[in-house]
């Protein structure tokens, strides 16, 4: 890692920490409506017999994932059509890890959004239950763009989960696999590129251009599958 890459790495995560503190810290003061059992699964151990048995003992009606490890076949086969994944990205364009970063890196701001999917054996290839792009404003930067995808994703998850109790019947199939990114793809070199975009005002200009192009267009409709069934 070069000096510039190391500086970019710290720059990016310092900015992210500051944004998340300003945007999400108030959530810590929210009072819970119930007292759910909370337990922490060590990284890489989700698909081990210990945690598979823990999940089977709980016998959940619904499993909603956000981040974390891929789900193994034993859990998938035990709960078919009962496992949902909150994907911070637009499946069909970006799949895998950090999919609210890569559209910024690639200057494809129109691909920033969130998708709720019903998972299968692939990586973000399951049927789509809901999908929407974020609203971009001239005042945005790389951190607020990524933060908006998280907020939107939670809104989609809440909406879909509520409708699952109203005979909501998914799903819309994924027609295009898009680009797959893994954790190893996100590194100092890619962060350095975004840092240069920010400091050269290249990202700001892309945001302004996108904002102006969308200003007189109708607001995109939220894609929510099988809403009227």
Concatenated DSSP letters for 80-149? TT-EEEEESS-TTTEEES-TTTHHHHTT-GGG-EEEEEE--SSSS-SEEEEEEEPPP-TT--HHHHHHHH
Q: Which two tokens stand for residue 24?
A: 């999400």
- For residue 194, how many other CB atoms are within 10 A of its CB? 18
Q: What three-state secondary structure class fits 65? A: strand
Region for 202 from its dihedrals, namely left if φ exceeds 0, alpha if ψ lies in -120 to 50, beta otherwise: alpha
Cβ neighbourhood burial of 84 (10 Å; 0-12, 13-18, 19+): buried
Consecutive H or E run containing 181: strand 179-181
DSSP state of 179: E
Q: What domains are defined for the chain?
A: 47-224 (3.40.50.12230)
Paired tokens of 162: 């509520």
Residue-level pLDDT, tens digit, the chain, 229 residues: 899 999 999 999 999 999 999 999 888 788 877 888 888 888 889 899 999 999 999 888 889 999 878 888 989 988 888 899 999 999 989 999 999 999 999 999 999 999 999 888 889 988 899 999 999 999 999 999 999 999 999 999 999 988 886 665 556 676 777 899 999 999 999 999 999 999 999 999 999 998 888 776 665 556 665 443 3
127, HSE (Cβ side, Cα atoms, 13 Å):
14
Q: What pTM, to 2 d.p., does this model score?
A: 0.88
Residue 189, both tokens: 């070199």
Cβ–Cβ < 8 Å for 116, 153 = yes
Q: How far is CA 69 from the centre of its chain?
A: 14
Nearest-CA neighbor of 91 among 161, 24, 171, 207?
171
**DSSP H or E segment with residue 209:** helix 202-215
pLDDT for 170? 56
Which single residue is written with the structure tokens 């939670």? 154
């Amino acid at each position: 890692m070069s000096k510039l890459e190391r500086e970019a790495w710290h720059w990016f995560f310092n900015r992210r920490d500051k944004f998340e503190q300003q945007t999400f810290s108030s959530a810590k003061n929210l009072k819970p409506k119930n007292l759910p059992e909370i337990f922490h699964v060590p990284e890489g151990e989700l698909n081990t017999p210990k945690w598979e048995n823990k999940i089977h003992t709980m016998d959940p009606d619904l499993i909603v994932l956000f981040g974390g490890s891929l789900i193994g076949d034993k859990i998938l086969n035990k709960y078919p059509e009962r496992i949902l994944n909150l994907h911070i990205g637009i499946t069909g364009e970006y799949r895998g890890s950090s999919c609210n970063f890569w559209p910024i890196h690639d200057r494809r701001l129109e691909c920033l959004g969130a998708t709720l999917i019903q998972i299968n054996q692939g990586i973000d290839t399951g049927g789509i239950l809901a999908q929407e792009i974020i609203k971009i404003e001239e005042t945005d930067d790389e951190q607020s763009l990524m933060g908006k995808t998280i907020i939107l994703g939670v809104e989609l998850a809440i909406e879909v989960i509520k409708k699952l109790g109203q005979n909501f019947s998914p799903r819309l199939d994924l027609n295009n696999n898009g680009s797959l990114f893994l954790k190893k793809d996100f590194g100092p070199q890619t962060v350095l590129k975004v840092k240069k975009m920010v400091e050269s005002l290249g990202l700001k200009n892309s945001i302004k251009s996108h904002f102006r192009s969308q200003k007189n267009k109708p607001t995109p409709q939220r894609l929510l599958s099988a809403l009227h069934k």
